[in-house]
Amino acid sequence: MMSTTTGKIGFHFKGATYQTWYKLVGDLRTEVRPLIALHGGPGVSHSYVTPHTDLFASHGIPVILYDQIGIGESSHRKDAPKEFWTVDLFMDELENLLLHFGISGDFDLLGHSWGGMLASNFAAVRQPKGLKHLVIADSPASMALWEEGTASLVAQLPHDVQDVIKEHEEAGTTDDPAYEKAIQVFYKRHVCRLEAWPDELNASFAAMKDDPTVYHVMSVITCYHCGDPNNGVVFLDRNGPSEFTITGTLKTWSIIDILHTIKPPTLLINSVYDEAQDVCVLPFFNRIPRVKWVQFANSSHVPLFEERERYMQVVGDFLKLA
């Protein structure tokens, strides 16, 4: 029987105390090394990474999910200045979670999208001695390369769709229904290719809609209208002049120069139709000393849903390696 525990952890940062909400699936008292799964965004809640709890059923791996500060069930800071929202903040929060569970000496770490950026940054900068395996899923090594990759995908859209996108972005009329329809073509190709988007994925974007503070400040993913267009779930949260241009504080983020310092064995994941195109993933493969790259042929940005069974097999088998 799957054991599930939820709760909140006090997180002290710059003279204030915040609460980090978590969900633990499995038992940390066993000898099986736990996995912490980091969600994307920044500012998209944990709900959509819930499928990783499959790893407990299939491989016996305890899995810890949590909402990063500013989203979901964790503390919110709508009044915080943009300087508050830094990569260091989220690395400190992760370290606090590891200490709370007493697993700093032995754990695995997986990050999806922004979560992979955070995970790789944490591995390279903080050099955690207890990190045994790292999984970077659908993530860029730099935001400049992310923009280069998404620009190439837009260039492959039908010309009439490209024309509509360009026309309305230049005119500043991105609330026009024609523009919304054109953008949905991109989402269905490169965010999630399933006919109906999973409830967990929609729930995560709904949480972003409820409080887009972190996302608006740091601004990573392209889908400012993310949601399932088939269900009419389209969230109109905008930041920046273009759907495919990063304007937040992470615009200049890059980890390329320090990737060689990542020590644990690393699994690198992306997909053929992914927003995280090969151009932004390749530096991980070229520079991390011990790395394996697996690409999913029938997925876009969320192979954890699109090819769920194979994805979990690949990740679970990697984590079980000595």
Please say whether the beta carbons of 11 and 37 come within 8 A. no
Q: What is the DSSP string of 55-79?
A: HHHHH---EEEEPPTTSTTS---TT
- Surface-to-core class of residue 102, CB atoms within 10 Å of its CB (0-12 exposed, 13-18 middle, 19+ buried): exposed
Q: For the chain, what is the largest distance between any 2 Cα atoms, rounded to a whole number of angstroms? A: 59
Other CB atoms within 10 Å distance of the CB of residue 315: 28
Q: What is the DSSP string of 130-192?
A: TEEEEEEES--SBHHHHHHHHHHHHTTS-HHHHHHHHHHHHHT-TTSHHHHHHHHHHHHHHT-
Please say whether the beta carbons of 220 and 247 come within 8 A. no
Structure tokens at 161: 């769709």
Question: Catalytic site residue 142?
Answer: no
Structure tokens at 210: 């409820």
Q: Which one of the listed residues 108, 138, 228, 274 is annotated catalytic?
A: 274
Q: Which one of the listed residues 47, 75, 113, 271 is annotated catalytic?
A: 113
Question: Catalytic site residue 271?
Answer: no
Burial 215-231 (b: 16+ CB within 10 A, else e): bbbbbbbbbbbbbbbee
The whole-angstrom separation of Cα 189 and Cα 200 is 19
Please say whether the beta carbons of 132 and 108 come within 8 A. yes
The whole-angstrom separation of Cα 9 and Cα 261 is 30
Q: Which one of the listed residues 76, 190, 225, 301 is annotated catalytic?
A: 301
Please say whether the beta carbons of 229 and 184 come within 8 A. yes
List the catalytic residues: 113, 274, 301
